[in-house]
Amino acid sequence: MDDLGWLRLACDLAALCPPSETAFSVGAVILGADGREIARGHSREDDPHAHAEETALARTSAGLAGATIYSSLEPCGERRSRPLTCSELILRAGIGRVVFAWREPSLFVEGKGVELLRAAGVEVVELPGLADLARLPNAHLLG
Protein backbone atom coordinates (compact mmCIF):
# COMPACT_ATOMS: atom_id res chain seq x y z
CA MET A 1 0.00 0.00 0.00
CA ASP A 2 1.22 3.55 -0.71
CA ASP A 3 0.83 6.81 1.25
CA LEU A 4 -2.66 7.41 -0.12
CA GLY A 5 -3.78 3.92 0.88
CA TRP A 6 -2.45 4.19 4.43
CA LEU A 7 -3.88 7.68 4.84
CA ARG A 8 -7.24 6.47 3.53
CA LEU A 9 -7.16 3.78 6.25
CA ALA A 10 -6.48 6.48 8.86
CA CYS A 11 -9.47 8.43 7.53
CA ASP A 12 -11.61 5.28 7.71
CA LEU A 13 -10.56 4.82 11.35
CA ALA A 14 -11.71 8.37 12.11
CA ALA A 15 -15.22 7.30 11.16
CA LEU A 16 -15.16 4.84 14.09
CA CYS A 17 -14.78 7.62 16.68
CA PRO A 18 -17.60 8.29 19.09
CA PRO A 19 -18.85 11.76 18.08
CA SER A 20 -17.88 14.69 20.28
CA GLU A 21 -18.90 18.34 20.40
CA THR A 22 -15.50 19.30 21.83
CA ALA A 23 -12.96 17.32 19.78
CA PHE A 24 -12.26 16.16 16.26
CA SER A 25 -12.68 12.55 15.13
CA VAL A 26 -9.27 11.39 13.90
CA GLY A 27 -7.66 8.11 12.86
CA ALA A 28 -3.96 7.21 12.88
CA VAL A 29 -1.76 4.37 11.64
CA ILE A 30 1.95 3.86 12.40
CA LEU A 31 4.25 2.00 10.01
CA GLY A 32 7.71 0.82 10.93
CA ALA A 33 10.80 1.59 8.86
CA ASP A 34 10.17 -1.72 7.08
CA GLY A 35 6.75 -0.51 5.87
CA ARG A 36 4.75 -2.84 8.08
CA GLU A 37 1.92 -1.67 10.29
CA ILE A 38 2.93 -1.38 13.94
CA ALA A 39 -0.19 0.17 15.47
CA ARG A 40 -3.40 2.03 14.77
CA GLY A 41 -5.97 3.95 16.74
CA HIS A 42 -8.70 6.52 16.68
CA SER A 43 -9.79 9.37 18.91
CA ARG A 44 -11.63 8.43 22.11
CA GLU A 45 -11.12 4.73 21.43
CA ASP A 46 -9.86 3.82 24.92
CA ASP A 47 -10.27 7.12 26.77
CA PRO A 48 -12.68 10.02 26.22
CA HIS A 49 -9.76 12.49 25.98
CA ALA A 50 -7.37 10.38 23.89
CA HIS A 51 -6.31 11.56 20.46
CA ALA A 52 -5.75 9.08 17.63
CA GLU A 53 -1.96 9.53 17.43
CA GLU A 54 -1.72 9.19 21.21
CA THR A 55 -3.74 5.96 21.13
CA ALA A 56 -1.64 4.46 18.34
CA LEU A 57 1.63 5.49 20.02
CA ALA A 58 0.51 3.91 23.30
CA ARG A 59 0.27 0.59 21.46
CA THR A 60 3.93 0.64 20.41
CA SER A 61 6.99 -0.35 22.37
CA ALA A 62 10.27 0.96 21.04
CA GLY A 63 12.10 1.22 17.76
CA LEU A 64 10.17 3.97 16.00
CA ALA A 65 13.21 5.48 14.27
CA GLY A 66 12.39 5.51 10.58
CA ALA A 67 8.67 5.08 11.29
CA THR A 68 5.85 6.99 9.59
CA ILE A 69 2.59 8.02 11.22
CA TYR A 70 -0.48 8.60 9.08
CA SER A 71 -3.14 10.84 10.59
CA SER A 72 -6.40 12.02 9.09
CA LEU A 73 -5.86 15.40 10.80
CA GLU A 74 -2.71 17.45 11.34
CA PRO A 75 -1.24 16.28 14.68
CA CYS A 76 -2.13 18.78 17.38
CA GLY A 77 0.43 21.37 18.34
CA GLU A 78 -1.67 22.80 21.14
CA ARG A 79 -3.90 20.88 23.51
CA ARG A 80 -6.09 21.52 26.54
CA SER A 81 -6.92 17.98 27.66
CA ARG A 82 -3.38 16.64 28.24
CA PRO A 83 0.06 18.04 29.11
CA LEU A 84 1.67 16.77 25.87
CA THR A 85 0.46 17.45 22.35
CA CYS A 86 0.45 14.78 19.67
CA SER A 87 3.29 16.61 17.93
CA GLU A 88 5.36 16.36 21.13
CA LEU A 89 4.48 12.67 21.51
CA ILE A 90 5.55 12.02 17.90
CA LEU A 91 8.85 13.84 18.50
CA ARG A 92 9.51 11.95 21.75
CA ALA A 93 8.83 8.66 19.96
CA GLY A 94 11.45 9.49 17.32
CA ILE A 95 9.08 9.21 14.35
CA GLY A 96 10.68 10.93 11.39
CA ARG A 97 7.79 11.20 8.95
CA VAL A 98 4.18 12.37 9.29
CA VAL A 99 1.56 12.11 6.53
CA PHE A 100 -1.82 13.80 7.04
CA ALA A 101 -4.90 14.81 5.06
CA TRP A 102 -6.48 17.84 6.71
CA ARG A 103 -5.01 20.91 8.44
CA GLU A 104 -6.51 21.43 11.88
CA PRO A 105 -9.10 24.21 11.73
CA SER A 106 -8.87 26.81 14.52
CA LEU A 107 -12.10 25.59 16.07
CA PHE A 108 -10.74 24.49 19.47
CA VAL A 109 -7.06 25.52 19.39
CA GLU A 110 -4.64 26.95 16.86
CA GLY A 111 -3.41 24.20 14.52
CA LYS A 112 0.37 24.49 14.57
CA GLY A 113 1.50 20.87 14.57
CA VAL A 114 3.02 21.03 11.08
CA GLU A 115 5.23 23.96 12.01
CA LEU A 116 6.40 22.32 15.25
CA LEU A 117 7.20 19.03 13.54
CA ARG A 118 9.04 20.63 10.62
CA ALA A 119 11.04 22.86 12.99
CA ALA A 120 12.22 19.66 14.71
CA GLY A 121 13.34 18.12 11.39
CA VAL A 122 10.40 15.76 10.81
CA GLU A 123 9.36 15.20 7.20
CA VAL A 124 5.73 16.31 6.97
CA VAL A 125 3.61 15.41 3.94
CA GLU A 126 0.14 16.85 3.41
CA LEU A 127 -2.18 14.96 1.03
CA PRO A 128 -5.15 17.35 0.81
CA GLY A 129 -6.85 15.16 -1.79
CA LEU A 130 -8.17 13.13 1.17
CA ALA A 131 -9.17 16.15 3.29
CA ASP A 132 -12.86 15.75 2.39
CA LEU A 133 -12.76 12.16 3.64
CA ALA A 134 -11.09 13.32 6.88
CA ARG A 135 -13.74 16.02 7.35
CA LEU A 136 -16.72 13.63 6.97
CA PRO A 137 -16.83 12.32 10.57
CA ASN A 138 -16.44 15.92 11.74
CA ALA A 139 -19.27 17.43 9.73
CA HIS A 140 -21.32 18.04 12.90
CA LEU A 141 -18.57 20.41 14.13
CA LEU A 142 -18.17 22.31 10.90
CA GLY A 143 -21.76 23.49 10.47
Q: Tell me the catalytic residues.
A: 53
Collapsed DSSP state (helix, strand, coil) of residue 47: coil
Q: Which residues of 98-110 are buried (b: 16+ CB within 10 A; e: fewer)?
A: bbbbbebbeebee
Asked if 24 and 131 touch (Cβ cutoff 8 Å), the reply is no
Contacts of 2 (CB under 8 A, 6+ apart): none
Residue type, 109: V
Query: Are the CB atoms for 112 and 78 separated by under 8 Å?
Result: yes
**67 and 32 in contact (C-beta within 8 Å)?**
yes
